[in-house]
Amino acid sequence: MHAIGISLLWLGLQVSIVALVATIVYWSTKRLGPRTRSFVLSCSIGMTLLLALLAFCPWPRWQASWKAASSVVESERANQKSPPPVNSSQDSESTLLEKPRLESEWGTVWDGFLKGLKQEPAVDQPRSMPTPAGIAGWVIAGGFLVAMSRLFIGYVSVKRMVRLAIPLNGSTAEETLDILAAEQQLTRPLTLLEHDQLTTAAVIGWWRPTILLPKGWSQWSREQLRAVLAHELAHVQQHDYLTILGAELSRSLYFYHPLIHWLVSRLRLEQELTADEAAAETSGGADSYLIVLAEMAVSQSPHRLSGPARAFLPTHSTFMRRIEMLKQKRSLKTVISHPVRAMVICSMLATGLLAAGLRGQQSSLAQQTAAELVAQPAAGPVDFNESLRQKHEAFKINTVPNDALGVLALRPAELLSLQALQYAKALMLQAEKENPRLYPLGIPLTEIKTLTVIFLAPEPDDPCSQLLDYVTVIETTKEIDLKQVAVAFSGGKLFTQEGIHHLQDKNNSGAQLAIVNNREMIYARRAGPFRQILEVRKTDQPSRWAEQWKPIEKDSIAALFNLRHLRELIWKNQCKIDFNESVWKASIAPVWEHTDVITLGANVSYKTALQATFYQQQNGDQVFKTLDAAQILGANMLQQYEQQILLQKQREQLVKLPLVKLALQLVKSIQLEQQGKDVILTAVMSDLSELTDSTAIFVPAMVEARQAALRLESLRNLKHIILAMHYYAGKHKHFPPAVVIGPDGKTPHSWRVALLPFLDENELYKEYRLNEPWDSEHNKKVLKKMPAVFKNPNDNRSDYYTSYLAVVGPNTVLGKSMRTTGGAMAGGSGGGSSPPAKPEPSAGVKLSDITDGTSNTIAIVEARREIPWTRPEDIPFDGEKLPELGGFYAGGFNVALCDGSARFLPNQLDPKTLKHLFLINDGNLVEFP
């Protein structure tokens, strides 16, 4: 609190300077009218608020010294170096120089005051004994909290008055207000209300202003009503309410400063006088307006408004002061010229900046931080890395298989605490709040101590186009709340085996989570890699990469890439990487062909240091030369790309330019060193502004990528469902109807229950009793076991509400398809003596019934409805009015088509097109956007 107290005391001095200058300027503009004086006071109040922000910024800063003691010390040192005195005159002169020079009594007092401010606690002083600056800090902080609480209560009270006020719709006052607003060409929406606690009219709000009238307004004459409303409209046009908010905030912040209180009260008076000028112009002149105000003052109730709400409302004393000012009949200037406006703004801004630069040696926390950074020695990357490594525990790689393709480890909690990443942290927290499925474990990123991602090669029978498998090992800063994680991840379901808690993702049937101990978890999206990592962990054998991992195991970020194994997979066609061979063969071919392992370590604090090591058995010289040439080539390419971006559109600059600058800064700082056959690459980035800008752009892109991944999961769910429908049709010769009748011939069930055997849910299907209603006591137990395929990844509702429904109606895929008997189709005409066609409902739609084409017909849609998955209910469609769909993603929704595909449809899709897509035989072919 000592440093904060010093900052607040210096802030009080700065505000005093600005307030004194504002007072002088205010009195010098006495003849320019209330509008000019109000503008001067508004600028000065705004400058006091700006000073509060600059108090936490290390700039500006003007160096000044009032210490006479420094001159004494310098004199003593000079005397020590001077030759011995020769005569008495020199003695007397030396004696005079050795005496302290007291310029004035006030100077001595000021020096003592500054010395007291800079007083630090003694080394052996108890912590309970505060310093004078610390006491001042606590007093000012406490007073500020009280003043802000009073201001907040006043604001809430005023808002409550507005809510309780009576609207004056259709009244004479509203008609008069509309006429005045039209005369003044005021287009903003206005609200006119009446409140019984007011004695004078008032304006509340600035975006959608509300004019409050006292209860006795109906007793006013037409001239009085017009004058009052014209006065309040002037406040609306000048945005006085917003200025009052800023003024009252300044008064609360500097509650201890009498000059601020005086400036705020004068600002309120000048605002009223400015509004009087405008009202007088519409009320027949200043004399007529004065008479009207005098009449109202005589009839006005002496009731005094009490409470914090007075800060936002005009008072009776201000009303009487206005009348006295108007009696003086001064020639007032109602328009501020541009030169005067510019002069006022520049003078107040210059005064504020000059005052803000007057700081002590410990003026703010921000300055202390900046001083610490500047004072740090110009150490190389090794010193910086070692200083951080001493604070870290080593990353564990005891779960990494020997044939892994790579591992990436980082410390999220530490990285998100860095100042350069605060904006990125805020974006992540906002995204986590808006969509909990982005982080399905229910644990904030700020509580994750280490995050280790292990990349595994695809199994030989996997398609080459599939992404590499990965497993994530998570270590938390706090003990894991097993119940919380289980509810968030698996809906509360888990089982324990060999002391490890196993959970199944409730939204992704393949994803699994193992809680190894009270601070460690393992996550995998497939069962095979999950079992592989658990088996490696059981053996607890040292990793084959332990030697290479050792130098980076305590860095902020560490990564290892097994290039040798990746090359083998590509040569065996077990994995395929798409990139332009003509580029990499000519530039980095020796690195790709000869390097076995690459390690990468990065440390981030007030700067960023990066070190990469390229391990190989031979050809170190070629790798060194290749990287050296690649650095020059990369820097030139990035510089050219930066110039191209500057010629592009603004949006592209915003997205690309910070990333390019960050890459360019890193590439330019690269230094290469060869140690035997290995090559070491180091890079240092001291300016973290580019990192801040890049993360501010990169994080939203990561969040959007995660959203796209969740949308793809939903598409996969729909594909599984439509594929199961085709399996059903292969067995029953038709798609399932929306309502399937049970074996008893009367109990209805949902098509989702009928698909369970074709979704690898045979056991669940056997557990469901088809001769009982869906909500019977027994079937309610099945209801709680909804398969993950029926749940959208973004659906955070109860576990038994389905996200995928059928659109049911005549001639829809799961609706009542109308099959005709007799001669022609229903609605058509036959030939000869054929009897008229007669439509009959069928049990389900055959593929041959979908005459519009399976790729042009929707079977299943995404929709947020309160429908349990076993209930035989879906979305009705009468062929005309379209139902509301989607609700999980912005901009559209996913659908499954009868050909087995799934796609995303935008909300802007033509309604006629969507209707055609729901019908199986309307004869209208559609084109997707």
Cα distance between residue 686 and residue 607, in whole Å: 5
858-862 and 902-906: which strand pairing?
unpaired
Cα distance between residue 475 and residue 410, in whole Å: 11
Helix or strand or coil: residue 344?
helix
Cα distance between residue 34 and residue 318, in whole Å: 15
- For residue 733, what are its two tokens? 């010769």
pLDDT digits (tens, 9 = 90+) for 774-803: 999 999 889 988 888 888 887 877 778 899
pLDDT digits (tens, 9 = 90+) for 884-904: 888 888 788 999 999 988 888
191-195 and 210-214: which strand pairing?
parallel
User: Across the strands, what pairs with 79?
Assistant: none
Residue 697's pLDDT is 63
- For residue 25, what are its two tokens? 């300027």
Contact 626, 591 (CB under 8 A): yes
Question: Average pLDDT of 441-454?
Answer: 85
Residue 708's pLDDT is 72
pLDDT band at 181 (very low <50, low <70, confident <90, very high): confident
Q: Say whether pLDDT at 770 is over 50.
A: yes
Quote the DSSP letter at residue 139: H
Helix or strand or coil: residue 682?
strand
pLDDT digits (tens, 9 = 90+) for 373-384: 444 444 444 466
- For residue 326, what are its two tokens? 């108007």
Residue 393: CB atoms within 10 Å: 11
Cα distance between residue 513 and residue 527, in whole Å: 10
Count of alpha carbons within 13 angstroms of residue 129, beta-carbon side: 8
Residue 1's pLDDT is 53
Residue 305's pLDDT is 60
804-808 and 875-876: which strand pairing?
parallel
Query: What ranges make up the beta strands (E) of 799-874?
Result: 804-808, 818-821, 838-841, 858-862
Q: Say whether pLDDT at 423 is over 80.
A: no
Cα distance between residue 193 and residue 185, in whole Å: 21
- For residue 911, what are its two tokens? 């309604």
- For residue 868, what are its two tokens? 């349990």
Question: How far is Cα of residue 901 from the mean position of the Cα atoms in its chain?
Answer: 35
Cα distance between residue 121 and residue 127, in whole Å: 8
Ramachandran sector of residue 596 (left: φ over 0; alpha: ψ -120 to 50; beta: rest): alpha
Q: Say whether pLDDT at 311 is over 70.
A: yes
- For residue 554, what are its two tokens? 């305590």
Helix or strand or coil: residue 304?
coil
Contact 55, 364 (CB under 8 A): yes
Pick the more confident residue, 826 or 417: 417
For residue 417, the one-letter residue type is S
pLDDT digits (tens, 9 = 90+) for 545-585: 888 899 999 999 999 999 888 888 877 776 665 555 555 55
Contact 515, 476 (CB under 8 A): no
Residue 361's pLDDT is 46
Helix or strand or coil: residue 604?
strand
pLDDT band at 505 (very low <50, low <70, confident <90, very high): confident
Q: Say whether pLDDT at 275 is over 80.
A: yes
Residues present in the chain in total: 929
For residue 571, the one-letter residue type is W
- For residue 816, what are its two tokens? 């009542």
Question: Average pLDDT of 190-212?
Answer: 87
Closest alpha carbon to 505 in 894, 705, 804, 787: 787
Ramachandran sector of residue 120 (left: φ over 0; alpha: ψ -120 to 50; beta: rest): beta
Tell me which of 390-399, 414-423, 648-657, 696-705 is least confident: 648-657
- Mean pLDDT for the chain? 76
User: Across the strands, what pairs with 496?
Assistant: 501
Tell me which of 423-437, 482-496, 629-643 is least confident: 423-437
Cα distance between residue 366 and residue 55, in whole Å: 8
Cα distance between residue 504 and residue 511, in whole Å: 6
pLDDT digits (tens, 9 = 90+) for 800-825: 889 999 999 888 988 754 333 333 33
Cα distance between residue 71 and residue 67, in whole Å: 8
Residue 136's pLDDT is 76
Residue 473's pLDDT is 92
Token pair 């019934």: residue: 849
- For residue 551, what are its two tokens? 């130098």
Is the four-CA dihedral 362, 365, 366, 372 of positive or negative sign? positive
Cα distance between residue 592 and residue 596, in whole Å: 9
Cα distance between residue 354 and residue 14, in whole Å: 9
- For residue 478, what are its two tokens? 């706090």
Report in angstroms the alpha-carbon separations of 911 from 223, 655, 928: 57, 35, 12
Report in angstroms the alpha-carbon separations of 175 from 171, 172, 178, 182, 231: 7, 5, 5, 11, 16
Q: Say whether pLDDT at 654 is over 60.
A: no
Contact 698, 659 (CB under 8 A): yes
For residue 178, the one-letter residue type is D
pLDDT band at 316 (very low <50, low <70, confident <90, very high): low
pLDDT band at 421 (very low <50, low <70, confident <90, very high): confident
Cα distance between residue 75 and residue 94, in whole Å: 9
| CA torsion, ordered 134, 140, 146, 148, to nearest 10 deg | -120
Question: How far is Cα of residue 208 from the mean position of the Cα atoms in its chain?
Answer: 27
Most confident of 159-173, 276-290, 818-832: 159-173
Tell me which of 127-131, 207-211, 294-298, 643-647 is least confident: 127-131
Residue 410's pLDDT is 92
Tell me which of 151-155, 196-200, 550-554, 836-840 is least confident: 836-840
Token pair 């209930």: residue: 871
C-beta contacts of 302-309 below 8 A and 24+ residues apart: 303/199, 305/197, 305/198, 305/199, 307/153, 307/154, 307/157, 308/150, 308/151, 308/153, 308/154, 308/157, 309/154, 309/157, 309/158, 309/161
Q: Say whether pLDDT at 642 is over 80.
A: no
3-state helix, strand, coil in the chain (%, to 5): 50, 15, 35
pLDDT band at 705 (very low <50, low <70, confident <90, very high): low
Question: How far is Cα of residue 802 from the mean position of the Cα atoms in its chain?
Answer: 30
Residue 721's pLDDT is 93
Helix or strand or coil: residue 179?
helix
Give the residue extent of every domain in the chain. Answer: 1-73+106-120+129-171+234-375, 383-615, 702-918
Closest alpha carbon to 584 in 630, 553, 619: 630
Report in angstroms the alpha-carbon separations of 860 from 115, 895, 896: 78, 6, 5
Question: Average pLDDT of 593-610?
Answer: 86
Question: Average pLDDT of 497-502?
Answer: 87
pLDDT band at 74 (very low <50, low <70, confident <90, very high): very low
Residue 452's pLDDT is 92
Helix or strand or coil: residue 410?
strand
Contact 472, 524 (CB under 8 A): yes
pLDDT band at 143 (very low <50, low <70, confident <90, very high): confident
Is 97 exposed, middle or buried, given 0-12, 13-18 or 19+ CB atoms closer than 10 A?
A: middle
Residue 784: CB atoms within 10 Å: 13
Question: Average pLDDT of 613-641?
Answer: 84
Quote the DSSP letter at residue 648: S
